[in-house]
Amino acid sequence: MSRPWRKRLRSAIGYLLLLAVVVTAVDLWRSRDMPTALAVLGPLATLEGEEVDLAELSREEPVLIYVWASWCGVCRFVSPMVNLVGAPVVSIAIASGPDARVAGYLAHHGYDFAVVNDEHNILARRLGIQVTPTLLVATKGELKYATTGFTTLPGMYLRLWLARLGRD
């Protein structure tokens, strides 16, 4: 490898590390006041009327909680990746209209993750969420990892993997 390429590679790696540090710091700052207990959400029901007990669901394996909105531009890029995760996913649609409108949005885009409709932002306020999308990982009945804004599929897998490591 020639010297200019090595120099560019080192610079790229340095920038990626700096970006990772900044993103982690922003996530920690934004989630500093976020509750850790899932009980703050209370009882949840999906658009299909199925009751969701996140504390129970997260006892066996980590659950990705995806807080999004139909009007969110960034969510249009993140939602298809959430649909591919394969791990248990429970999403919360905030301020996206009545159940029928949210269900129509999901059908139009072909998303099949479970959705709890938070039409009036009640759940989002309980969690202290002010930015969409926000992704959280619940494990053993607690909220652990939180990130806001654009997130990649590898980023989601990494957070779920870290939650699995923390379970042992």
Residue spans of alpha helices (H) in the chain: 3-30, 54-60, 75-84, 99-109, 122-127, 153-167
Q: Pick from 108, 70, 126, 67: which is nearest to 91 by CA?
A: 67
Please report the pLDDT score of residue 102 as a whole number: 97
- Answer for the pair 114, 45: CB distance below 8 angstroms, yes or no: no
Task: Say what the pTM is.
Answer: 0.81
Is residue 147 within 8 A of residue 135, CB to CB? The reply is yes
pLDDT tens track of the chain, all 168 residues? 567 888 888 888 888 778 777 766 666 566 666 666 787 788 899 999 999 999 999 998 999 999 999 999 999 999 999 999 988 999 999 999 999 999 999 999 999 999 999 999 999 988 888 889 999 999 998 888 888 888 889 989 888 888 888 755
The Cα–Cα gap between 28 and 145 comes to 9
Residue 59 CB partners (closer than 8 Å, separation 6+): 140, 141
Query: What is the Rg, in whole angstroms, of the alpha carbon atoms belonging to the chain?
Result: 17
pLDDT of residue 68: 97
- Angstrom distances, CA of residue 161 to CA of 59, 81, 122, 126: 15, 16, 29, 26
φ, ψ for residue 92, nearest 5 deg: -125, 115
Reduced to 3 states (helix: H, G, I; strand: E, B; else coil), residue 105 is: helix
